[in-house]
């Protein structure tokens, strides 16, 4: 998320999530690592709980339960065209069934070095089972070098990379937090709920006390103590072109579809197929 307006224009809007989303420019909603960075500078933020911009999308691939952790731009729940349906599904079933096109963009992003999404095999996180729905792994705030490669990569997506990660861990340690946790869905739960397509949950960053954990499996979207941090829509509308949505990226869309033909076929119907054929004919007529 580009913070072109600066820290002074960021506000914390209380949930329900859809109410907060309606007040904020979606592309400005802060991700977990951005809030953690702000908490280093502004200790008043440490008592707040946040629904973050990151997307938490689960899928089954070759028999493995997979988590795609995305930036704000690729989060399917926060997209303007999805938010109403997403919050309704989460309220009714705890999970949002991700549209195939959105999932193709996410998987395409994960295939790129800086594509806006990272892919994690849940078993590689060396999880401890919490209950039939959630699992977690712990991070010792002074001995974090004991994390395996996958655990560290995910932890840095949540708390910040490199020196920022070390600084956040140090601040937690100073606050009396000896261990923190990251919660995800159980691999077994994912096997059941994502059997017919990817599902999404909401990311939630808890306050800076006790365990100070992060949920990549949250479905509490109506809790008044939770905040969503971003820039108000009317502030963006005053003329900051840098925070307006980018034009649709047709090149990436074509590349994503062609890289995932089997998944793309699942969303293809006669109307779409006819449109693609017409588009291809128009292309060749110009050659």
pLDDT at position 280, please? 78
User: With bands split at pLDDT 50, 70 and 90, how would you rate the model's confidence at 169?
Assistant: very high
pLDDT, tens digit, 9 for 90 and up, residues 254-282: 666 776 677 677 667 777 777 777 777 77
pLDDT, tens digit, 9 for 90 and up, residues 78-91: 999 999 999 999 99
pLDDT at position 285, please? 72
pLDDT at position 234, please? 79
Comparing 49 with 113, the larger pLDDT belongs to 49
pLDDT, tens digit, 9 for 90 and up, residues 186-214: 999 999 999 999 999 999 999 988 888 99
pLDDT at position 258, please? 73
pLDDT at position 25, please? 94
DSSP structural state of residue 211: T
Task: Determine contact, residues 129/166, Cβ cutoff 8 Å.
Answer: no
Q: Please count the CA atoms within 13 angstroms of the CA of 227 that sit on its side-chain side.
A: 17
Average pLDDT, stretch 147-174?
97
Average pLDDT, stretch 41-66?
96
Average pLDDT, stretch 171-189?
96
Q: What value does the mean pLDDT of the chain take?
A: 89
Task: Determine contact, residues 5/240, Cβ cutoff 8 Å.
Answer: yes
Average pLDDT, stretch 95-122?
94
pLDDT at position 221, please? 96
Q: Give 46-49's long-range contacts (Cβ < 8 A, gap of 24+).
A: 46/175, 46/207, 46/208, 46/209, 47/207, 47/208, 47/209, 48/12, 48/207, 48/227, 49/204, 49/205, 49/206, 49/207, 49/223, 49/225, 49/226, 49/227
Helix (H) or strand (E) holding 228: strand 226-231
pLDDT at position 44, please? 93
Spans of all domains in the chain? 7-243, 247-287
pLDDT, tens digit, 9 for 90 and up, residues 210-247: 888 999 999 999 998 999 999 999 765 555 544 444 44
User: With bands split at pLDDT 50, 70 and 90, how would you rate the model's confidence at 7?
Assistant: low
Q: Which residues of 160-176 are buried (b: 16+ CB within 10 A; e: fewer)?
A: beeeebeebbebbbeee
User: With bands split at pLDDT 50, 70 and 90, how would you rate the model's confidence at 100?
Assistant: very high
SS3 145: helix
Comparing 18 with 115, the larger pLDDT belongs to 18
Q: CA distances (Å), 185 to each of 84, 136, 138, 269, in order?
A: 23, 8, 15, 33
Distance CA 274, CA 281 (A): 11
Q: Please count the CA atoms within 13 angstroms of the CA of 148 that sit on its side-chain side.
A: 10
Nearest to 223 by CA among 247, 204, 239: 204
């Amino acid at each position: 998320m580009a913070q072109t307006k600066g820290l002074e224009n960021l506000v914390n809007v209380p949930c329900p999530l859809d109410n907060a989303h309606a007040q904020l420019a979606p592309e400005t909603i802060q991700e977990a690592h951005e809030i953690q960075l702000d908490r280093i500078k502004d200790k008043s933020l440490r008592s707040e709980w946040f629904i973050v911009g990151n997307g938490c999308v689960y899928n089954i691939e070759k028999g493995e339960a997979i988590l795609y952790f995305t930036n704000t731009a690729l989060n399917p729940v926060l997209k303007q065209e999805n938010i109403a349906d997403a919050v309704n599904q989460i309220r009714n079933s705890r999970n949002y069934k991700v549209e195939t096109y959105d999932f193709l963009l996410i998987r395409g992003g994960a295939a790129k070095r800086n594509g806006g999404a990272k892919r994690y095999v849940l078993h590689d996180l060396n999880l401890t089972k919490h209950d039939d729905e959630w699992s977690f792994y712990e991070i010792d705030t002074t001995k974090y070098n004991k994390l395996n490669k996958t655990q560290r990569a995910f932890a840095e997506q949540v708390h910040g990379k490199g020196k920022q990660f070390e600084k956040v861990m140090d601040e937690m340690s100073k606050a009396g937090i000896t261990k923190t946790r990251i919660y995800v869905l159980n691999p077994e739960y994912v096997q059941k709920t994502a059997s017919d397509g990817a599902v999404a949950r909401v990311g939630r960053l808890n306050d800076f006390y006790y365990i100070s954990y992060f949920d990549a499996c949250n479905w509490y979207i109506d809790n008044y103590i939770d905040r969503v941090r971003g820039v108000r829509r009317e502030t963006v509308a005053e003329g900051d072109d840098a925070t307006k949505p980018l034009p649709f990226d047709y090149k990436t869309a074509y590349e994503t579809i062609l890289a995932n033909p089997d998944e793309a076929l699942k969303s293809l119907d006669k109307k779409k197929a006819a449109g693609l054929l017409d588009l291809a004919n128009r292309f060749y007529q110009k050659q």
